[in-house]
Chain A
Amino acid sequence: MKSKFIIRNILAVAVVAMASCKPEFKEVTPNKGTADFTRYIAVGNSLTAGYADGGLYLEGQQNSYPEMISGQMKTVGGGAFYSSFFNTNQADGSGYLRIKSLSASGLPVTETVTGNLAVRGQITLPQVGAVTLYTKFSGDLNNYGVPGIRLTDIDNPAYGNANGFFERLLPAASPGNTTSYLSFITAKPWTFFSLWLGNNDALGYATSGGVGGVLTDKARFSSVYNTVAAALTGTGAKGIVATIPDVLATPYFNTVTLASLLAAVRVSAPTVQALYIQTATGTRAATAQDYFVLTLGSANVIGVPNGAGLPYGLHPLNPIESKYVLDQAEAAQVTDYVNTYNATIKSVAAAKGLALMDAYALLKEYGAGKTVNGATVSAAYITGNLFSLDGIHLTPLGYAIVANAFIKSINTQYGASIPIVDVTKYRGVKFP
């Protein structure tokens, strides 16, 4: 009798102890510090819109860094946050790339997803050319990311007619818009902003091998950057600005290399010693200091004879076209401009007391290879998990790493403690 009682008591104690006690940590109370996140707006380009895999589509929009940051800001009084999501029945948006298969060398064979596009038409504008137009979005908006926009475009009242992604957000149909991007984003009051513009002021020039697009004049960049920063802080709002990543460190410029091209050529022509490229100063043999663009890999042009029977790229009289090559001089120019742009951004941040997310340093650090919660990420094309299939824009995992860098800088600058996102919840490159 007595022993039964004792046993019962022991069991009771044991069961209670086991059922009740999961170890807990000291309660964390996120706080907003000196900032006010009631209405956060995200100003930027494709990276801000969530552009990935060569297109803007719903999944990318949902995994944009402003969506992630705003979700975390809700723990410290952040308000509702809206992005210009495509409808689910038009979830493929502009269309985007996916991997169809892998080639023998491990490079992806891509195809474009076009099942449920949000394309509503096309218009041809003088001096601009064809502009694809998308299903209009109306409604509250906090994510003002517009793919393709340069800093130098933001005060141009006609820009909304030339960029289909911006036109989509404006009330009038192209070519009837007269609202500049700067006017558009400042129309409604805000309490906090992120500003990540400037990438496209160098990107267009770089990705076209120096053929299309021009580098925005340095003085012009500084002038417009000061204008937008003044406008965004003019009402007393706090915010964060971000530097421009090193475009030359992306897979777009490091996947197809002189070595990989020569190796491919030598399979059938073992004696080939050099590839010839067209540059601003004439045709010459390529060196390891010249960058080849990602799209050269799938263009299948190397070695194809021209009318005179000269193989493409293998003969000085039939060189690789400039559009496929960012030669050493052009690359140096891009580096110089990006460094100057970033110096401007940093000085504006310091002068205005804004938080700074150094995307240049961040993507250099992760691009060089880094283990994140057990997952290795790097700038390696498709296997690095950081960059999406277009080789320039990020994967959801890459955007999550960026989001946490924004959050950490905001926390440091404003004494806040916005919780970070769990980067492992976000995917890398999808494989078939």
Chain B
Amino acid sequence: MKKKLLIFLLGLPFLGYSQSFQVNLQGQKQIAMGGAGTGAALDEAAVFFNPGAVSFLKQNGVQAGISPIFLKTSFREAGSNITEHNKDKIATPVMGYAVFGSPAGRLRFGLGIYTPFGGAMHWDENWTGKYTVTSLDLRAIFVQPTVSYKITDHLGIGAGLVYSNGHVDLRRAVPLTLNNGQSGTGKLEGSTNDFGWNAGIYVETISGVSIGVTHRSSVNARVKSGTATFDVPDALISSFPTKFTATLPLPATSTIGFGFYPSEKTTIVFDVNWVRWSKYKDLSFDYDNNARIPDTKSPRNYHDAAALRLGIQNQTTAKLVLRAGVGYAFTPVGEGYVTPEVPDADRLLLSAGLGYKASKNFSVDLSFLYENVKARTETNIETNLNGSFKSLVYIPGIALTYKW
């Protein structure tokens, strides 16, 4: 049995997720099933995946989880024989959900805290692309109070208001040489406070298949008064800005998901996401002092992109659930627009996980997600950085749940 389990974990394609700086780590069960879960009332994370399914949850509960992201990216400049690697820096998106109300009633309430967008990319301070970026830390934490209403025994709707709290820290080298021979550096840091929404419909059909349709709105993350810190030669420092404004559009995502129940113990979930990345036309920084550096408008020209996610879970024993999934996310980044802060490409997602019910109220879920981002070789149209990127991502995760 143990051996079988190990073979299962090693050999089966498991789940996955993520696309550009969208982070799809919102629930350990769903992570373990390729990131799918919109079409099933799985657990408290339905607050994120489908507010319409929250009213179908059989118990109330709270859960908290974390999914540290181990991102390994390599770059090789065209014509060079040197491969450069990003630094081992771990991003730690957290997630927490609570669902209240009477499970017997039609109206339920939920609260979710999750990180749908983010990134942590750290290159060596003196790497080949240092004038494009040396590090990016980006996160948008969403807090979402939610109402879910069961219109009939087979149809539920739900909606939540999203408050988004964002933080960005972007650093790069500045092509001005300090007296010690080192290049200057610049740091742009700011926070954002914005609003959006999340709504969904959940249907349990007569055929036994459940269907979920959701839409998460876009959020314009506006840095209204960011701090620009430049380490440049003293003779020039007065001509550099100290403040900036910028807007990063966090795209809307529409999802249709299905739940299939081939046996009492087995659930299969399948999601299709459509992410409206085309909103992300450019990354612009407006500075308060343009004497030395002009406002920048870096073209991104993302296009809308889909992600497909398929997952399965099996109630192996009374206490143990095994999960696996596979996914494929199409990149929204067109040729010539790949940047080292988010070296995106089409990616394959494999995932696995398990759930263990330790007691009547308490359970733990583990997941592991592997993302293989395709290698990509091209010249960026803005920076002329010319070379190949290749990324692998490893994301273990754990969540603790208390139900009552």
Residues of A participating in the B interface, judged by any CB pair closer than 8 Å:
2-3, 5-7, 9-11, 13-14, 17-18, 21-25, 28, 30, 75, 99, 101-102, 370-377, 385, 404, 407-408, 419-420, 422, 424-425, 427-432
Contacts and interface: CB of A to CB of B under 8 A. Distances in A.
Given A424-B130, A424-B131, A429-B177, A14 B394 contact: yes
A107 B195 CA distance: 49
B334 interface: no
- Among B81, B182, B352, B391, the one with the most A-chain Cβ atoms within 10 Å of its Cβ is B81
Contacts of B83: 24-25
B184 to A, nearest CB: 9
Contacts of B390: 23-25
A101 B235 contact: yes
Contact of B131 (A21, A23, A374, A420): A374
B81 A385 contact: no
Given A373-B129, A373-B131, A374-B132, A431 B82 contact: no
A375 B128 CA distance: 11
Nearest to B392: A23
Contact of B183 (A14, A422, A427): A427
Contact of B235 (A17, A427, A431): A431
A422 B82 contact: yes
A432 B129 contact: no
A427 B129 CA distance: 14
B85 interface: yes
A399 to B, nearest CB: 14
B9 interface: yes
A405 to B, nearest CB: 11
B319 A3 contact: yes
B175 A376 contact: yes
Contacts of A5: 2
Given A7-B366, A13-B10, A373-B132, A23 B183 contact: no
- Among A30, A372, A375, A420, the one with the most B-chain Cβ atoms within 10 Å of its Cβ is A375
Nearest to B181: A427
A376 B73 CA distance: 25
A432 B233 contact: yes
B138 interface: no
Contacts of A375: 131, 175
Interface stretch (B92-100, B255-263, B380-388): B380-388
B233 A431 contact: yes
Nearest to A429: B177
B172 A102 contact: no
B319 A420 contact: no
Interface string B356-380: 1000000000101010000100000
A6 B322 CA distance: 11
Contacts of B178: 430-431
B1 A2 contact: yes
A9 B6 contact: yes
B79 interface: yes
A420 B81 CA distance: 8
A424 B128 contact: yes
A11 B368 CA distance: 9
Contacts of B234: 431-432
Interface of B: 1-2, 5-6, 9-10, 70, 72-74, 76-77, 79-83, 85, 126-133, 172-173, 175-179, 181-183, 232-236, 319-320, 352, 354, 356, 366, 368, 370, 375, 382-385, 388, 390-392, 394, 396
Nearest to A425: B126
B177 A373 contact: no
Q: Is the interface of A mostly helix, strand, loop or mixed?
A: mixed
Contacts of A420: 77, 79-80
Contacts of A11: 396
- Among A6, A75, A407, A428, the one with the most B-chain Cβ atoms within 10 Å of its Cβ is A6
Contacts of B368: 10, 13-14
B386 to A, nearest CB: 8
B212 to A, nearest CB: 29
A25 B73 CA distance: 11
B235 A22 contact: no
A5 B2 CA distance: 8
A408 B79 CA distance: 9
Contacts of B385: 373-374
25 contacts: A2-B1, A3-B319, A6-B354, A9-B2, A10-B368, A14-B396, A17-B370, A18-B396, A21-B394, A24-B83, A25-B74, A75-B81, A99-B235, A102-B236, A373-B77, A373-B128, A373-B130, A374-B131, A375-B131, A376-B175, A419-B79, A424-B129, A424-B173, A424-B183, A428-B176
A61 to B, nearest CB: 15
A376 B174 CA distance: 10
A249 to B, nearest CB: 21
B181 A430 contact: yes
A431 B366 contact: no
A292 to B, nearest CB: 25
Contacts of B235: 99, 101-102, 431-432
Given A375-B175, A432-B235, 12 more contacts: A6-B320, A7-B354, A11-B396, A13-B6, A18-B70, A21-B392, A373-B383, A373-B384, A374-B132, A419-B79, A420-B80, A432-B179
Contacts of A431: 176-179, 232-236
A374 B340 CA distance: 11
A242 B127 CA distance: 30
Contact of A30 (B81, B133, B232, B391): B81
Contacts of B370: 17
Nearest to A395: B177
A385 B388 CA distance: 26
Contacts of B6: 9, 13
Given A6-B2, A424-B131, A22 B382 contact: no
Contacts of A408: 79
Contacts of B366: 7, 10
Contacts of B85: 22
B74 A24 contact: yes
Nearest to A428: B177
Given A99-B235, A428-B176, A9 B77 contact: no
A419 B80 contact: yes
B74 A23 contact: yes
